A and B are shown apart, each in its own frame.
Chain A
Amino acid sequence: MSLEDELNQLRIEHQTDEKLQVAYRDLLSRLDRAETGQRALKLGDAMPSFILPDAEGRLVASDELLAKGPLVVNFFRGNWCPYCLKTLKALEASLSEIQAAGGRLLAITPDTGRHLTDTKRVQRLSYEILSDVDGAVGLLFGVLFRAPAAYRQVLAGYGIDLAERHGNESGFIPLPATFIVDRGGIVRYAFVDIDFTRRAEPAEIVAALAKLRDGSS
């Protein structure tokens, strides 16, 4: 089953939740009107360098990782989002293929503290999970937005407290997005969607990495 199949199953499950559907459609139309993500990093752009803490309490520098090979940078909202969880697990399942194709995976989230470590431990993820405290990296990539009040309220109804997770009251979360960046720091693949139920397919990521490695990109 592809990731898209799994995500589609979730979409079907959630279709019956009217409150969720209203919030979802409202969010998409706002993001569309605000042109969110339309100026996100795209092919040929240079990735800004950044240094963020990881789930193990170390500082991870993008420059240092790039020196070792291409990066797959995956932004996700948090382990409260079932679409994010499916995506994180699918990436873990494809990790050996990603690595064989020469890529190193990085996942970036606004979550902090126990939410960060729980994601890594409970989902048994072996790749780096970084905390984008205050959202600077999301902003630099052009994928950051403020979750509308109506959407935050629906999440709160499900016990999801973004302020507690993020350590701030901004409500800033990223569009789920995946970028592949070559050793020169140039973006060679970009998937950005205002629809959080849509994600980059791991097979596509592997194929893009392979093209990069074989020099035919």
Chain B
Amino acid sequence: MELFQVRYFLALARTLNFTRAAEACNVSQPALTRAIQRLEEELGGPLLHRERNLTQLTALGRAMLPHLEAAHAAAESATSQAAAFRRRDSEPLRLGIDATLSARILGPALRALQERIPGFEFGLAEAGSSDLLERMMGGGLDSAILVEPAKPPERLDRWRLFGDRYVVLCPEDHPLTALDEIPTAALATESLLMREQSSDFEQAAERLFTAAGFAPKPRHRCSGEDQIRQMVAAGLGIALSAEHGDPGAGIVARPLADPAARRDIVLAAVAGRQHGPALAAFLKLMRARDWRGQENL
């Protein structure tokens, strides 16, 4: 596969017209056609079919389009990336992370970017996954670490990073800490600290409990992860949280025994948007990382 073949194909996919694609690529139509034929040979089938005046992508063409777009975009930016970094050409990287996850998940990637890019800047937002998703689709965030959405928008690229179990946060001396895993039923008799009802996490937890035939009764309501942890440490009750949330002083986490009590954590970015050099590097770092150490309790 050659870069120029990919470029010609992308022009064809955009224009659906051999003449206009050749013009856009500054080559003769026969040259473009030949290049596409060789690409088709390599990809294993026709990428376009022509019916009278109508040129359309085949199923293979449609399937390969996003991969060829990704490879092309990465190739085009590769050569200019080093120069862009030196020129401090990057906008601040706007990231988001689900409020129930520890920001430390981003630490190594951000440090690698800081080491590589002079003047590197990032902005980090913390919110529920549905909020982060909305902000991303609206152009307010470049990328986010989220809980896999139940109904992912079509234009969202997602890459699974690791699985995340629901855990129970208890004070260090709590009897539940004697167990390796907590059965859902054990929560019934506890003083339960919960987040606001509108929180994504509590809504997901509620769905989980309903499926298990359990209706948790919140004793107290808190705002945000830090308050939850402080109140657990102060002995006001126990709380549900995420395995990859921040730990807290004076508290212990134990996973829920229910095998359904887990969620997938994904890296997300909007598809088809031109990625700046810092964003491209960030996504690569996150996708290349060995997240395996993250998966065990």
B contact residues vs A (CB 8 Å cutoff): 1-3, 6, 38, 41-44, 64, 67, 70-72, 74-75, 77-79, 81-82, 85, 108-109, 112-113, 115-116, 159, 281, 283-285, 287-292
Contacts and interface: CB of A to CB of B under 8 A. Distances in A.
A167 B44 contact: no
A149 B6 CA distance: 20
A148 interface: yes
A53 B285 contact: yes
A114 B44 contact: no
Interface in A35-50: 35-36, 39, 48-50
B74 A148 contact: no
Nearest to A135: B71
A131 B71 contact: no
Contacts of B75: 136-137, 139-140
Interface string A138-173: 011010111011000000000000000001111010
Contact of B1 (A30, A133, A145): A145
A12 interface: no
Q: Chain A interface residue count: which class?
A: 35 or more
A48 B44 contact: no
Nearest to A137: B78
B243 to A, nearest CB: 18
A97 interface: no
B81 A114 contact: no
A49 B288 contact: no
A116 interface: yes
A133 B3 contact: no
Contact of A59 (B42, B78, B116, B287): B116
B288 A170 contact: no
Contact of B6 (A33, A139, A167): A139
A136 B78 CA distance: 8
Contacts of B70: 134, 168, 170
A112 B285 CA distance: 10
Contacts of A112: 287-289
Contacts of A113: 287-292
Contacts of A140: 3, 75, 78-79
Contact of B78 (A48, A55, A57): A48
A contact patch SS: mixed
B78 A167 contact: no
Nearest 10 pairs of A and B residues by beta carbon: A136-B74, A170-B67, A34-B42, A131-B288, A53-B288, A136-B75, A34-B41, A117-B290, A59-B116, A50-B78
A195 interface: no
A59 B82 contact: no
Nearest to A143: B1
A53 B38 contact: no
A49 B78 contact: yes
Given A57-B109, A61-B116, A145 B78 contact: no
A119 to B, nearest CB: 11
B82 A58 contact: no
Given A57-B289, A170-B71, A49 B79 contact: yes
A42 B87 CA distance: 30
12 contacts: A30-B41, A34-B42, A39-B2, A53-B285, A58-B115, A135-B74, A136-B78, A139-B1, A146-B1, A146-B43, A146-B44, A167-B159
Interface string A160-188: 00000001111010000000000000000
Nearest to B39: A34
Given A39-B2, A49-B78, A139-B71, A116 B288 contact: yes
A48 B281 CA distance: 17
